Structure 1
Amino acid sequence: MKVSVWDTYVEREDAKVMHFDILVPNQVTDEETILDFGKQFLKTKPFGTKHLTARECRFCHIEEATEQIISSIQNVGFHIIEMENCN
């Protein structure tokens, strides 16, 4: 399965910047849908964040998904890779 990787940076309320990737099937191109996936992820965090808009989330590239990513996408529609300041 090919997935689109959306590089995302969101400022936390403590001024740290979260960096994470939102992975979706490559045929999903609607930015609002992708932003909604990011917002769902942010709701799982115990700290507050600033807004997630198209300014913070940009298409980066397409890659081949691993089995773990495919499983996540089949279960919830997307997969998140946490990079920095996500905990």
Structure 2
Amino acid sequence: MPGPATPRDRFGNLPRGYVAEVTRQPNVAWVHLRPGAPPVLIRRLPNNRLEVLAAIATETHHDTVRLPSFDIVTKAVDKAARDIA
């Protein structure tokens, strides 16, 4: 998943080739910040601070938005089935 300042494509994901491109740059590497934690792609900045470019997520959660079209179609099919019977 992208870091806070990492560019994103139109879907909010890392752009194609981004990881390959930045890992060729100096001071960029995949590291484990905590034992047992997934790796994080970081860049060491000139002031010695670390910039998170990307992280591996072992689990994700999304708020699902259900469009009303499913309910509309379901009701229409139910009504049509009742009309036939």
Instruction: State the TM-score, normalized to the length of structure 1.
Output: 0.25
Please identify which structure carries the higher strand content.
1
Which structure's relative contact order is higher, taking Cα pairs within 8 Å and 6+ residues apart? 1
